Amino acid sequence: MKVSYRREMDHNYLVIRQEEFQDGYQVGMVVKNKIPGFLECRLSFIDRCGDFYYEITSRQSLRLLLERKRLSGPGLCSFLEELLRAVQSCGEYLLDSGGILLDPDYIYLDPDGEKAYFCCFPFGETDTGKALLELAEYFLERLDRQDQDAVTLGYEFYRMAGQEHFSLEELLVKWKEEREGGGCREEIPETPVPGGEIPLPAGPASREEGASTVFLKQAPQRGLVLRSENPAYGDMQITGESFLVGKKKDAVDGWLKARGISRIHGKISLEEGEYYLTDLNSTNGTFLNGGRLEVNEKARIRQGDQVGFADVKYVVDLSGELHYNKSDTEQVWKKGAKKDDI
């Protein structure tokens, strides 16, 4: 598949191109109907190709949302139930469930309710069994190891995904039937989880707050610091390999409470010693030196570059540590403290 991302006015789209396009029943059903559980879709023709535009405005991919948090038992249960409902919607609209893309990059969630929306591509040639097993393996790596329900359910889902001679709907129905009555709480199987131990989630050493910006901070280190051009917003020190910025406090590393900031707005990542800025489907844009990035576009950032999240601007400093203003009111999130203490 040829995948790209587009922004048109206030809408963002995941675009999948089909070469040598031919119209048909499946295409008509996906494009002309608002199917429960699926991203809305429209079709655009270019020469002999068909571009399928999937509406992803204000939503984030499953892969992104699981970058910094672990799956709980109830969370995984909810996801599988929504996948089952989407598969059943395929039956109601006479669609081939093999067109459901199970790659975490193409599954989108609402950052507030975390309701899952799936992408139904009429020309999908996915090996559903293989894709489901890969999804189960992906979940195993991101389970909350301290949540017994999560570990039990994750292993159970992996076991069932590896079974042959079941359609996607049959497997999910069987899973639901086995879960009914017992909820999500069972004994953890003695058989070890494939792939070995699931790592514990790494928690931040501290959380510091100044003005209208909150950022997570490990031990002091040299690295990238975003120095604010507006005294109303504090500087941010970027730690780790992935640092999310946005206004949804419990979903980002750098909380930026400002007008025009999306819930999960942008990301700074460290890859092979270089820093990159990525727009994460924001409404009002992520900017590098005055130029607006496209949806999910990743651009390298260097010393002295100007980075903007909507109208909030920073200057990139790759040379030093974060400097503190003693006049600022700072609140430290110590290990074990509750969110309400912030």
pLDDT tens profile 125-160: 668 888 999 999 999 999 999 999 999 999 999 988
Instruction: Write down the pLDDT at residue 215.
Output: 46
Instruction: Kindly tell me the number of DSSP H helices and DSSP E strands found in the chain.
Output: 6, 20
Q: Cα separation of 153 and 184, whole Å?
A: 7
Each residue's pLDDT tens digit, 269-321: 999 999 999 999 898 999 999 999 999 999 999 999 999 999 999 999 998 65
The residue with greater pLDDT, 163 or 287, is 287
pLDDT of 207 > 60? The answer is no
Of 158, 219, 166, the residue nearest 191 (C-alpha)? 158
CB 147 within 8 A of CB 201: no
CA atoms within 13 A on the CB side of 312: 26
Identify the weakest region by mean pLDDT among 29-38, 174-183, 323-332: 323-332
Instruction: Write down the pLDDT at residue 88.
Output: 93
Q: Cα separation of 307 and 233, whole Å?
A: 14
pLDDT of 325 > 70? The answer is no
pLDDT of 175 > 50? The answer is yes
Residue 174 phi/psi, 5-degree rounding, is -65, -40
Each residue's pLDDT tens digit, 38-90: 999 999 988 888 999 999 998 999 999 888 788 999 999 999 999 999 999 99
pLDDT of 193 > 60? The answer is no
Which residue type is seen at 62? L
Instruction: Write down the pLDDT at residue 164.
Output: 72
pLDDT of 333 > 50? The answer is no
Average pLDDT, the chain: 81
Instruction: Write down the pLDDT at residue 337.
Output: 36
Count of Cβ atoms closer than 10 Å to residue 107 Cβ: 24
Residue 170: band (very low, low, confident or very high) from pLDDT cuts 50, 70, 90 = confident
Residue 189 is given by DSSP the state P
Instruction: Write down the pLDDT at residue 264.
Output: 92
pLDDT of 324 > 70? The answer is no
Each residue's pLDDT tens digit, 19-30: 877 788 989 999
Instruction: Write down the pLDDT at residue 182.
Output: 57
Q: Cα separation of 93 and 33, whole Å?
A: 9
pLDDT of 188 > 90? The answer is no
Identify the weakest region by mean pLDDT among 109-113, 179-183, 270-274: 179-183
Of 2, 39, 3, 6, the residue nearest 295 (C-alpha)? 6
Sequence-separated (6 or more) residues with CB below 8 Å from residue 88:
169
Identify the weakest region by mean pLDDT among 73-87, 174-188, 228-242, 302-316: 174-188
What is the total residue count of the chain?
Answer: 342
Structure tokens, 84: 């089952």
Q: Helix (H, G, I), strand (E, B), or coil: what is residue 127?
A: coil
Give mean pLDDT, residues 167-195: 65
pLDDT of 187 > 50? The answer is no
Residue 100 is given by DSSP the state B
Count of Cβ atoms closer than 10 Å to residue 89 Cβ: 19
Cα angle for residues 292, 293, 297 (degrees, 5° grid): 180
Q: Cα separation of 157 and 140, whole Å?
A: 9
pLDDT of 202 > 60? The answer is no
pLDDT of 196 > 60? The answer is no
pLDDT of 212 > 60? The answer is no
Instruction: Write down the pLDDT at residue 181.
Output: 59
Of 96, 121, 123, 113, the residue nearest 41 (C-alpha)? 121
Give mean pLDDT, residues 161-185: 76
Instruction: Write down the pLDDT at residue 128.
Output: 83
Instruction: Write down the pLDDT at residue 102.
Output: 94
Of 189, 60, 176, the residue nearest 113 (C-alpha)? 60
pLDDT of 114 > 80? The answer is no
Question: What sign does the dihedral 300-301-303-305 (CA atoms) show?
Answer: positive
